Amino acid sequence: MPEYEAVIGLETHIQLNTTTKIFCACKADSWDDGPNTNICPVCTGMPGVLPVLNKAAVEKAVLLAAAMHADIQNLSFFDRKNYFYPDLPKGYQISQYDRSIARGGFMYLPLPEGARQVRIHKLHLEEDAGKTKNEFTSASGRRRLIDFNRCGVPLIEMVTGPDIHTADEAAAYLIRLRQLLRWLGVSEADMEKGHLRADANVSIRLKGSTVLNTKTEIKNVNSIEAVRSAIEKEIERQIREVEAGHSIKPWTLSWDDETQTLSKMRSKETEADYRYFREPDLLPVRLDDAWRAQILATLPELPLERRARFVQDYGLPAYDAEILTGERALSDYFEAAVKAYGGDPKTVSNWMMNDVLRMLNDRGLTATALNMTPAHLAEAIRLVDDKVINTSTGKALVPKVQDSGKSPKAIVEAEGLAKVSDEDAIRAIALQVLDASPAEVASYKAGKTTLMGWFVGQVMRQSRGKADPQTTRTLLEQLLQ
C-alpha cells in the first residue's frame, strides 16, 4: 500500500478580550448574559448608524501580529464581506480583505524532530456574527432563535499555510497558539466558550509529492481533542476513498463530538462570491511610528524564548522549563521565587512542579490565582533547608499559606509545627509505640524487618508529623536491638 501524507490548514477565529465590541460601546463578552442583552443600533445594523473603530482591538491585533513575526502594515483598510444569513443583520460582515493589518508571519511549532515554522497566510481583523439556535417546543413547533450578542465582537481571523501534516501537529499548533494568546493577554482563548474556534482543511497526497489535492473542510470542532480526532478520522476516510479508486469531493464536513463522527454539511462546489468592497463608513487604519512603538513596547518575552532562557540561565531540565513556561504568570512567579530564595533554582522548580502546581490543579486554578507569594514559597523552602520543619510539613504548608494568606513562619509558630529533633522527646514516643505493639515487636524480632516503616509511621503520627524521620528510625533501631 502506498504511503500517504496529509496536508492540513487551520483557519482560526480568535476572540479578542477587549472590554467593548469592535465598532460600538456594547460589552464584548456575553458568556454569562442572556440572549440579546448586549446589543445596540450599531451592532444590529440599524439604518443611519456609523461604526467607530475600537482602538484596543487594533492594539491587540498588532501585538499578536508581532508575536507571529508578521509584517505589520502602517496603512490598512476595512471591507464589507456581503452574504445573507439570519445572524448577520447588516447583510455584510465588516472584515479586512486585501489590505489587512498584517501580512505573512509564522509560528514556531516545537516538534519531536525539531522546531518547524508554520507559515501564516492570512491575519486580519473582523467582527463576529450572531448565533442561531434551533428549538423545538410542542406549542410552537420548530423555530429558529437568533442571539445578536456576538455581533460586532472583535475577532482575528488567522489562516495557516500547508505546513501541518498530522492530527497531532494540528493539536500541537492549537495548544501553542492558545498558550501564546493567553501569554500576550489578547484573548482568553477558551475553545469551549468559542474564544478560539478552528476549522480544518484536510487533503492527502502520496508521500513526497508536492501537489495539493482536493481538500475538505471540517467545521464545528470546539476542543483541541475534537480537532485531533476529527482530522484523524478524515485522513483515514480520504485514504480509504482513494484506495477504492474514488475521488475526493470538496465537501464541508461537520464533526459530532458525541458520536465522534463526521457528516457532510454541504458540498462546496464553488467559492461564494462575497462581493468585497471597501467599508465606506470607516477611515483607513493608520498606524504611525509612535503608536506602533508604543504597542510593541508592551510585547513580552515569548514563551519559547523564555523556555530557552530558563534552561540557559537557571540550568533547568527542558521538561521543567516547558512546564514552568506553560503560563506567563507561572513563569513570572518562578523567577520571583528563585530571586527570593537565592539558592538552587532546581529546588524552586521541584517545589513548584510537585506542590504548587498540584495544589492549583486540584483546585482547578491557574497561577494568576496564587495567594501564596513567591516570597512565601522561598520562606517555606528555607524552613525545610534549615531543618526547622521536615519536608512533609513544608509541603503541607503550601495549601495552608494559599488559604490563609499567612506567611509560612507564622503558620509554623501558630500551629507548633516546628520539627521535634530532640532525641529524648522522640525516644519517649517511640517507647510508647513499642509498648503498645507487642505483636509487631515480636514479628520484627523474628525477622520481619519491613515492619520498621510501620514503626516510623506510628511515631510520626503520634508526633503529628513533627518528628524528624531519620532520627526516629535510628532511635527505633537502637531500641529494638
Distance from C-alpha of 13 to C-alpha of 113, rounded to nearest angstrom: 29
Q: Which three cell numbers stand for residue 215?
A: 481538500
Query: Whose CA is closest to 262, among 236, 289, 288?
Result: 236
- Rounded to a whole number of angstroms, the minimum distance from the CB of residue 155 to Mn ion is 7
Q: Which stretch binds Zn ion (CB under 5 A): 41-49, 189-197, 217-225, 451-459?
A: 41-49
Instruction: Pick the binder of Zn ion from 24, 109, 125, 202 (CB under 5 A).
Output: 24
Q: Which stretch binds Zn ion (CB under 5 A): 27-35, 37-45, 155-163, 374-382?
A: 37-45
Cβ closest to Zn ion, residue 90 vs residue 197: 90
- Select the binding partner of residue 415 from Mn ion, Zn ion, none (C-beta < 5 to 8 A, by kind): none
- Select the binding partner of residue 49 from Zn ion, Mn ion, none (C-beta < 5 to 8 A, by kind): none
Cα angle: 222, vertex 223, 228; to 5 degrees: 115
Q: Which stretch binds Mn ion (CB under 5 A): 82-90, 150-158, 200-208, 417-425?
A: 150-158
- Rounded to a whole number of angstroms, the minimum distance from the CB of residue 146 to Mn ion is 19
Number of residues forming the site for Mn ion (CB under 5 A)? 1
Instruction: Pick the binder of Zn ion from 6, 14, 43, 337 (CB under 5 A).
Output: 43
Q: Which stretch binds Mn ion (CB under 5 A): 151-159, 164-172, 252-260, 448-456?
A: 151-159
Is there a contact between 88 and 129 (Cβ–Cβ < 8 Å)?
Answer: yes
Which value, to the nearest 10 degrees, does the dihedral of the CA atoms of residues 43, 44, 49, 53 take? Answer: 10
Is there a contact between 476 and 430 (Cβ–Cβ < 8 Å)?
Answer: yes
Cβ closest to Zn ion, residue 42 vs residue 200: 42
Instruction: Pick the binder of Zn ion from 7, 16, 22, 26 (CB under 5 A).
Output: 26
397 vs 324, 333, 342, 412, 457, CA distance in Å? 21, 18, 20, 8, 20
- Rounded to a whole number of angstroms, the minimum distance from the CB of residue 98 to Zn ion is 27
Helices within 185-302 (DSSP H only) = 224-243, 289-296
CA dihedral over 226, 232, 235, 240, signed as positive or negative = negative
Instruction: Pick the binder of Zn ion from 35, 40, 410, 421 (CB under 5 A).
Output: 40
- Select the binding partner of residue 467 from Zn ion, Mn ion, none (C-beta < 5 to 8 A, by kind): none
Is residue 94 involved in binding Zn ion (CB under 5 A)? no
Query: Whose CA is closest to 154, among 106, 117, 210, 101?
Result: 101
Q: Amino acid letter at 364?
A: G
- Rounded to a whole number of angstroms, the minimum distance from the CB of residue 90 to Zn ion is 12
Cβ closest to Zn ion, residue 38 vs residue 390: 38
Query: Whose CA is closest to 8, among 125, 168, 197, 123?
Result: 168
SS3 category, 6: strand
Cβ closest to Mn ion, residue 157 vs residue 332: 157
Distance from C-alpha of 444 to C-alpha of 1, rounded to nearest angstrom: 65
- Rounded to a whole number of angstroms, the minimum distance from the CB of residue 157 to Mn ion is 4
Query: Whose CA is closest to 376, among 411, 350, 343, 347?
Result: 411
Q: Which stretch binds Zn ion (CB under 5 A): 33-41, 65-73, 94-102, 290-298?
A: 33-41
**Which H or E run contains 137?**
strand 131-137
Instruction: Pick the binder of Mn ion from 157, 168, 188, 415 (CB under 5 A).
Output: 157
Is residue 28 involved in binding Zn ion (CB under 5 A)? no
- Rounded to a whole number of angstroms, the minimum distance from the CB of residue 81 to Mn ion is 8
Query: Whose CA is closest to 371, among 384, 383, 359?
Result: 359
Is residue 87 involved in binding Mn ion (CB under 5 A)? no
Q: Which stretch binds Mn ion (CB under 5 A): 65-73, 149-157, 327-335, 410-418?
A: 149-157
Cβ closest to Mn ion, residue 157 vs residue 415: 157
419 vs 14, 391, 406, 413, CA distance in Å? 52, 10, 19, 11
- Rounded to a whole number of angstroms, the minimum distance from the CB of residue 153 to Zn ion is 10
- Select the binding partner of residue 157 from Mn ion, Zn ion, none (C-beta < 5 to 8 A, by kind): Mn ion
Helices within 187-269 (DSSP H only) = 224-243
Query: Whose CA is closest to 378, among 340, 330, 411?
Result: 340
Cα angle: 130, vertex 265, 5; to 5 degrees: 110
Q: Which stretch binds Mn ion (CB under 5 A): 157-165, 190-198, 369-377, 401-409?
A: 157-165
Cβ closest to Mn ion, residue 123 vs residue 170: 123
Is residue 118 involved in binding Zn ion (CB under 5 A)? no
- Select the binding partner of residue 184 from Zn ion, Mn ion, none (C-beta < 5 to 8 A, by kind): none
- Select the binding partner of residue 200 from Zn ion, Mn ion, none (C-beta < 5 to 8 A, by kind): none
Helices within 315-407 (DSSP H only) = 318-324, 328-341, 345-351, 357-362, 374-385, 391-404
**In the stretch 226-265, what mask flags binding to Mn ion with x, by CB under 5 A?**
----------------------------------------
Which residues contact Mn ion (rule: CB under 5 A)?
Answer: 157
Which residues contact Zn ion (rule: CB under 5 A)?
Answer: 24, 26, 40, 42-43
